[in-house]
Amino acid sequence: MSRPTPLRGVHETLGATLTDFAGWLMPLRYGSESTEHNAVRQAAGLFDLSHMGEIFVTGPQAGEALDYALVGHLSVLEPGRARYTMIVAPSGGVLDDLIVYRLADEEFMVVANASNYPRVAAELTERAKAFDAAVEDRSEQYALVAVQGPHSRAILGKLTDADLDGLKYYAGLPATVAGREALLARTGYTGEDGFELFVAAGDAEPLWAALTEAGEPYGLVPAGLSARDTLRLEAGMPLYGNELSADLTPFDAGLGRVVRFDKPGDFVGRAALEPLKDVPPSRRLVGLVATGRRVPRHGYPVVSADGAVVGEVTSGAPSQSLGRPIAMAYVDDGLSTGLAVDIRGSREPVDVVELPFYRRKK
């Protein structure tokens, strides 16, 4: 049985198509996923992301513990700011990609993917043992609601006195939103401006209702995981299990910049990753745009003009913004022309493009 989020009743009332995702019963879409996708690009969308994990690391050495446990340099993060980072195995393989918020000098919140957070919590607990820091998985206590899209700033502004204009991208602060205590962060996974609100599970429903009402004049619609996936794909953002896995290092994924060798001390994965930092990976994560209308999907082979398999698709979907199917794929380094994707036995030509596929206008 899939676990419901605190907003299950709301999704059912809205007539959502529910699906199992990483053991959670999540809204896949409420109506048309294309409409939801376009609403986020042009107006705003409301997401339930309560399946994500929230792990708190607290104490005098919380920052140092995270510097050792993760590839990033978290102890230098200013309170109120956030970082995209990763946790790797000693071998350098990616165990999860994370956003870490520094809430106070001695308090960090690590946000992990639904499929991984029990493992991340266990690893953090183990890795923090030598430090004066405590690790606590509070995922059960939190709901996460996101408002994403160009009108999200205006919608939030009706419900909080918090200084939204002072809240930069990748920053978060405690705020009162619609009368509820929330950790309000300017982060997202859609390629648009937007906010994520971490609230007590019991506050999720009233917050959702308030956001729905405040967003109505702005064209806010509830949006499901299907739209979330096509939005992040257009924005070129990796998804754990697709572009990231324990078999790949951050360098393999083209995300070596998150590994901070310049921080002091050892960290889990340093010895394995250090020799790799100047070695170009044999395959590179690229964007593909299909010439035809069939969609390259996860696991499909990328083939060269002579029919050799030179790569594999990690994610693919029809793109609303481009009007053509798009995909991300690992492709042998240096190949960029004459490629095709083997779509169920037929070779469909693709163009190789730089990521992201979509970048919002500032």
Partner 1 sequence: MSSIPDDLHYTKEHEWISGIDDGLTLTVGITAYAAEALGDVVYVQVPEVGTAVSPGDAVGEVESTKSVSDIFAPVGGEIVEVNQAVVDDPSLVNSDSYGEGWLFRVRLEGDADDLLSAEEYTALTSGES
Binding residues: 196
- Applying CB under 8 A, what is the total number of residues that bind partner 1? 15
Provide the token pair at 196: 């994520």
Least distance in Å: CB of 28 to partner 1?
A: 8
Least distance in Å: CB of 329 to partner 1?
A: 17
Question: What is residue 210's three-state secondary structure?
Answer: helix
Question: What one-letter code names the amino acid at 94?
Answer: V
Question: What is residue 347's three-state secondary structure?
Answer: strand
Of 34 and 115, CB closest to partner 1: 34
Q: Which residue has the tokens 């997401």?
A: 47
Question: What is residue 332's three-state secondary structure?
Answer: strand
Contact 40, 149 (CB under 8 A): yes
Contact 335, 346 (CB under 8 A): no
Say if residue 102 is exposed, middle or buried (CB neighbours under 10 Å; 0-12, 13-18, 19+): buried
Contact 68, 255 (CB under 8 A): no
Least distance in Å: CB of 210 to partner 1?
A: 29
Binding region for partner 1 (CB under 8 A) out of 32-40, 121-129, 327-335, 353-361: 32-40
Ranges within 74-103 binding partner 1 (CB under 8 A): none
Determine which residue in the list 301, 318, 349, 356 makes contact with partner 1, applying CB under 8 A.
318
Least distance in Å: CB of 322 to partner 1?
A: 12
Binding region for partner 1 (CB under 8 A) out of 66-74, 213-221, 280-288, 289-297: 289-297
x-or-dash pattern for partner 1, window 197-236, by CB under 8 A?
-----------------------------x---x------
Neighbours of 227 (CB within 10 A): 30
Binding region for partner 1 (CB under 8 A) out of 4-12, 44-52, 56-64, 287-295: 287-295
Q: Does 297 bind partner 1 (CB under 8 A)?
A: yes
Tell me the binding residues for substrate: 196
Q: Does 293 bind partner 1 (CB under 8 A)?
A: yes
Provide the token pair at 191: 């390629």
Rounded to the nearest 10 degrees, the angle between the axes of helix 225-234 and helix 33-42 is: 50
Which residues sit at the interface with partner 1, rule CB under 8 A?
17, 28-29, 32-34, 226, 230, 293-295, 297, 317-318, 344
